[in-house]
Amino acid sequence: MSQLSRAFFDRETPAVARALLGQRLVRVRDGQRLSGLIVETEAYGGPDDQASHAFRRTPRSAIMFGPAGHAYVYFIYGIYFCLNAVTEADGQPGAVLIRAIAPQEGLALMRDQRGEVPDRRLADGPGKLCRALGITRDQNGLDLTASAALFIEAGEVVADGQIVTTPRIGVRGDASARERPWRFVWRSKS
């Protein structure tokens, strides 16, 4: 399988969020592949997007202003990690939150991480996904186009008719931020 190139991520954030559906997220832990097809994403912009961490540049959000194709992992609610892929041209902030995957490889290890839940629920939310794959702040900043531990590879092509677009879930900010149709869901896989 081929890892996605920097050019894939070096585009407008909503386009990358849509294009990530059907691609395979891979985490290699202790020599074992854990993977799944990406089935849900959300796009986040820069200073014009009050829902984004890059609305104000901080030490935490600085990675969103860097080169495309890097992992942005942050801690939320004091209990969950969330994985994003940095997008846009260097200096232009943007990132895509990977909200859910349909697990394919390494399910036994994912079950060990998540406990007794149905396989379809192992990684059906951003915090669950990171827990199932063992993604922590240690992966923050990894180059998804070159890393052997965390990357995204070409998967399936998802037809437009299989994609549902909605406003993002649980975001704060002005009406523009709350209403942007920047959440993308692969209907048949989610």
29-77 per-position pLDDT tens digit:
999 999 999 999 999 999 999 999 999 999 899 999 999 999 999 998 7
Q: For 130-183, how does the pLDDT look when each residue is reduced to its tens digit (9 = 90+)? A: 999 999 999 999 999 999 999 999 999 999 999 999 999 999 999 999 999 999
Domain that holds residue 178: 6-186
* 3-class SS shares of the chain: helix, strand, coil, % to 5: 25, 30, 45
79-130 confidence digits (pLDDT tens)? 899 999 999 999 999 999 999 999 999 999 999 999 889 999 999 999 999 9
Residue with tokens 């993977």: 35
CATH number of the CATH domain containing 91: 3.10.300.10
Residue 45 within any structural domain of the chain: yes
Res. 189: pLDDT tops 80: no
pTM of the predicted structure, to 2 decimals:
0.96
In a domain, 152, yes or no: yes
First to last CA, the chain: 23
pLDDT of 161 reads 96
Distance CA 172, CA 127 (A): 18
Domain count, the chain: 1
User: Would you say residue 1 lies in a domain?
Assistant: no
Compute the distance between CA of residue 116 and CA of residue 48 in angstroms, rounded to an integer. Answer: 41
Residue 122 lies in a domain: yes
